[in-house]
A and B are shown apart, each in its own frame.
Chain A
Amino acid sequence: MPRLVSHPDEVKIVTRRFGLGAANIDRYVELGGYESAKKCLEQGPEWIINEMKASNLRGRGGAGFPTGMKWSFVPKQSAKPKYVLVNGDESEPGTCKDHLIFLHDPHAVIEGTIIAGLAIGSKLGFIYLRGEYRYLLEIMEKAVADAYAKGYLGKNIFGSDTEFQIITQSGAGAYEVGEESALMESLEGKRGVPRIKPPFPAVVGLYGGPTVINNAETIATVPHVIAMGAAAYAEVGSPRNGGTRLFGVSGHVERPGVYELPMGYNLKKIIYEVAGGVRGGRGLKAVVPGGSSTPVLLPNEIDIGMDFDQVGKAGSMLGSGGVVVIDDQTCIVEFALRTISFYQHESCGWCIPCREGTDWLKKSLTRFHAGFGSMKDIDNIQYIAENMMGRTFCPLGDAAAMPTLGFVKKFRKEFEDHLDGKPCPFAKHVDLAVV
C-alpha cells in the first residue's frame, strides 16, 4: 500500500478524504460527498461553467489549460452525443498522484465526471485507467457499481430526469495513450496513435462527438471547487493558478511522497522543508520540476513558485507536478539516457521526427555514456532534439526533445567530461539495456 505523507504546510483539499475510508460510498457521503453534484444538478450548466472559470482551475495533466474554458468550448447543440473522458493513463515518469486519488477517493472522480457531464450536456462518461492499475480499476469499478445502486448514476440521477452513465476502461500499457487524441483512439479499440488537430476534441472527439477530456486530478478537484465556492478555491493559489496541486516528490529526498500544496508554493521549500532535503545530506545537482518531459532546473534556479506561469518563466514547465530530485552523485548523462530511452520505447512511430529522433538520441547517448562519443555528438544531440520540436502530431516528440536539450545545455561540461575514453565519473549502469 503506497505510504501517505503529511506536512504542516499542506492545504488538504483534494486529499482531504485520503486515509478516511472514502472508497466506501456511505463514508464518502458522510464526508460531504455527492452534495456538489446535487448542487450542480439544481444550478445548471451555465452556472457550473462560470464557477469553473472563476476558480482558475487549470488542467492537472500537464498543459495547464483552464478547465472552465475547455468545457465552454463544447457546443450546446450537437447532432452527435457528447462525452466526458477522464484520463487516468498516468504514465509520465515521476508522477503517481492519480494512483492515490483512485485508491483513496474514487467517488470524487465519479462525482467530478457527473459534474462535467452536467456542464456540457453529456449522458456518458468514461474513466480510463492505465492497464497496470488493475487494483485501482477494481476499486473504481466497485465505486461505480455502488453509485449506480444508490441512483447517483443511471437514467435518473439523484431522482431527477437527467441521465448520466459511466463506463470504466482499462488500457493495456502505453504512455502515448495519455495524449488526449491517442486516448480516444484507444477507447475506440484502435492503436493509440494521435489524431491531427484541429478539429479539437471539444468539437469532434470520441466516436466523432464533442468530447471533454480531463486529467483524473482535475476531475477529482471539481467537486471540491463546487463545495468551497470558486472564489475561495481560487484564493488558495496564486494569480491565474487556482487552488492546490498534488506534488509528487521523488528521487533523492529524505521524505518522498505526494504532498498537496497551494499553487505557487516555493520549489526550494518543497525540496528542503516539505520533503526533508536531499537524502543523506548530499548536495543538490538538479531538479526535474514536473515529470520527465520538463526541462531540468539547476540548484540556483529553484527559488521559484510552483505554478504554470512561474515555472514557465524559469524555462521549464509545471507539467504533471512530479518533482524529481537529483543529488550530486548522479551522472546526468546517464539520467538523460534513461529519460530518452523511455521516450524511444514509448514513441508510437506515427510521426517520423519523433520515431527517428528518439531512436537516434538514444543511440547517441548510449554511445556517449559508454565513452565512445565525440565533441560533434554533443552538438548533434542538440541538433536532433531541436529538429523534433513542434514537428509531430502530439507532444511526445517535444516531451522527448525538451529535457534532452535541457541536459545538454545546462550540463555541457559533464558531457565533455565523458569524452576521449574518460570513464564516466559516476557510472554504474554503462550497459543500459532498456527494451
Chain B
Amino acid sequence: MSVFSPQLAARFDALVAKYPLRRSALVPMLLYAQDEVGYLSDAVLAEVAERIGITELDVRNVATYYSMLRFKPAGKYNVQVCTNISCMLRGGYEILERFQDELHIGHKGVTADGQFSLEEVECIGACCWAPAIQVNYDFHDELTPEQVPGILAGYRAKAEGKVADA
C-alpha cells in the first residue's frame, strides 16, 4: 500500500524520467516525501527504496547524511533559527532565546499541541538580512526579539484557517 499521495507519486514519476540515472531522484524525493508526510517514516523509506529500485538500507545510508531530513515528526510549523556568525553578530541568539521562551521548548523540541517545533540551524543564506529564520520554507529577515510573538501568532492564525497566507 502506498504512503505517497497521487500527486507525490506523479511528481516522482516525472522526476525519475528526467535523469540519466534513476537514483538521482533520491535526495529531492526524500525531501518532497518528508514535506508531505511530515518525516521519513519507515513506510516512506521503504516506498522510496522500492520506487527507486535500491535497498532500504541504501536509502537510510543516504538520508542520514542530510541535515534537513528527519526521522520523527516535527511541528506543523518548524521554526529554524540561524545563529551562525552573521546572524550571531546581529542578535541571532536573542531571537532563539525568545522563541524558546515563547514556545517553552528547546533545540529540536516540539510543542505539546504539535503546532510548532524549534531548531537552531546553520547558515541559511540570509546573512545580509540578519538575523534571519525560516519557518518551514518561509524566510523572515532582519528580526528583533519583539517580533517573535507576532510571527508565532501569524502561523497560529494560519493553522486555524483565519488567514490564507501568514
**B-contacting residues of A (Cβ < 8 Å)?**
1-3, 81, 90-96, 98-99, 124, 130-135, 167, 169-175, 186-192, 207, 248-252, 256-258, 288, 292, 322, 324, 326-327, 330, 335, 338-339, 342, 345-346, 348, 428-429, 433-435
Known contacts A124-B20, A345-B122; A189/B52 CB under 8 A: yes
Q: Is B166 an interface residue (CB 8 A)?
A: no
The answer to whether B107 touches A171 (Cβ under 8 A) is no
Nearest neighbor of B89 in chain A, beta-carbon distance: A251
Please give, as numbers and ranges, the residues of chain A lying within 8 Å of B28 by CB-CB distance. 169-170, 172
Q: Which of B105-139 contact A (CB under 8 A)?
A: 107-108, 120-130, 134, 137-139
B88 interface residue (CB < 8 Å to A): yes
Closest 5 CB pairs of A and B: A173-B68, A189-B23, A189-B26, A173-B67, A172-B66
The stretch among B2-10, B79-87, B146-154, B155-163 that forms the contact with chain A is B79-87
Enumerate chain A residues within 8 angstroms of B21, measured Cβ to Cβ.
188-189, 207
B57 at the interface (CB under 8 A from A): no
**B103 within 8 Å of A (CB atoms):** no
Q: How far is the CA of A172 from the CA of B73 in the complex (A)?
A: 17
Main secondary structure of the interface of A (DSSP, over half): loop
Known: A172-B30, A342-B84. A96 touches B90 (CB 8 A): no
Interface residue from B25, B52, B61, B127 paired with A322 (Cβ < 8 Å): B127
Complex CA gap A133/B25 in Å reads: 18
B132 to chain A, nearest CB (A): 9
User: What are 5 A-B interface contacts by the 8 Å CB criterion?
Assistant: A2-B141, A93-B123, A95-B125, A135-B137, A256-B127
Q: Which residue of B lies closest to A2 (CB)?
A: B129
Q: Which residue of chain A has the shortest Cβ distance to B19 in the bound complex?
A: A167
Q: Is the CB of A81 within 8 A of B84?
A: no
Asked if B31 contacts A170 (CB within 8 A), the reply is: yes
Please state if A188 and B68 are interface contacts (CB–CB under 8 Å). no
* Chain A residue with Cβ nearest B69: A172
Contact of A251 among B83, B86, B125, B142 (CB under 8 A): B86
A96 to chain B, nearest CB (A): 5
Complex alpha-carbon distance, A189 and B129, angstroms? 33
A96 lies within 8 A of B62 (CB) = no
B27 in the interface, Cβ–Cβ < 8 Å? yes
Contact residues in B for A326 (Cβ distance below 8 Å): 89
CA distance in complex: A326, B88 (Å): 11
B:40-89 near A, CB below 8 Å: 52, 61-62, 65-69, 83-86, 88-89
Which among B19, B30, B122, B139 has the highest number of chain A CB atoms within 10 Å? B122
Q: A190–B67 Cα gap in the complex (Å)?
A: 14
Q: How far is the CA of A167 from the CA of B28 in the complex (A)?
A: 12
Count of chain B residues near A, Cβ 8 A:
48
Known contacts A171-B66, A173-B69; decide if A130 and B84 are in contact (CB<8 Å): no
B136 to chain A, nearest CB (A): 8
Give A414 Cβ to nearest chain B Cβ, in Å. 16
Binding site for A on B (CB under 8 A): 18-21, 23-28, 30-32, 52, 61-62, 65-69, 83-86, 88-90, 93, 107-108, 120-130, 134, 137-139, 141-142
Nearest CB of chain B from residue A145's CB, rounded to whole Å: 12
**Least CB distance, B73 to chain A, in whole angstroms:** 17
**Nearest A-chain residue to B88, judged by Cβ:** A338
- Closest Cβ of chain B to A55, distance in Å, is 27
A169 to B27, CA, bound (A): 9
A326 to B89, CA, bound (A): 8
With A132-B125, A428-B93 in contact, do A190 and B20 touch (Cβ < 8 Å)?
no
Whole-angstrom distance between the Cβ of A280 and the nearest chain B Cβ: 12
* Least distance between B75 CB and chain A CB atoms (Å): 17
Chain B residues within an 8 Å CB radius of A345: 67, 122
**How many whole Å from A322's CB to the nearest CB in chain B?**
6
Within 8 Å CB of B124, what residues of A?
132
**Contact flag A96-B89 (CB < 8 Å), given A91-B123, A207-B21, A345-B122:** no
Q: Is the CB of B66 within 8 A of A173?
A: yes
Task: Write the nearest CB–CB distance from A388 to chain B, whole angstroms.
Answer: 19
- Check B142 against A96 for contact (C-beta < 8 Å): no
A250, chain B: closest CB distance, angstroms? 4
Extra A-B contacts (10), CB below 8 Å, given A93-B84, A93-B123: A96-B125, A134-B137, A170-B27, A172-B68, A189-B52, A190-B26, A322-B86, A324-B127, A428-B93, A435-B121
| A174 engages B84 (CB within 8 Å) | no
Let me know if B126 and A342 touch, CB within 8 A.
Answer: no
Rounded to whole angstroms, the CA-CA distance of A90 and B127 in the bound complex is 11
A434-B120 in contact given A2-B129, A134-B137, A189-B27 (Cβ < 8 Å) = yes
Partner of A250, one of B24, B130, B137: B130
Give bound CA distance, A288 to B86, whole Å: 10
The answer to whether B86 and A191 touch across the interface, beta carbons within 8 angstroms, is: no
CA distance A162 to B142 in the complex (A): 46
- Give min CB distance, A169 to chain B, whole Å: 6
Q: How far is the CA of A170 from the CA of B120 in the complex (A)?
A: 21
Q: In the bound complex, how far is the Cα of B93 from the Cα of A330, in angstroms?
A: 14
User: What is the CA–CA distance of A130 and B31 in the complex, to the nearest angstrom?
Assistant: 11
Chain B residues near A93 (CB-CB < 8 A): 84-86, 122-123, 127
Query: Which chain A residues border B30 with CB–CB below 8 Å?
Result: 172
Q: Is the CB of A338 within 8 A of B24?
A: no
Residue on B nearest A325 in the bound complex, by CB:
B89
| A248, B128: Cβ atoms closer than 8 Å | yes
Complex formed: what's the CA distance from A338 to B88 in Å?
9
CB neighbours of B137 from chain A (8 A): 132, 134-135
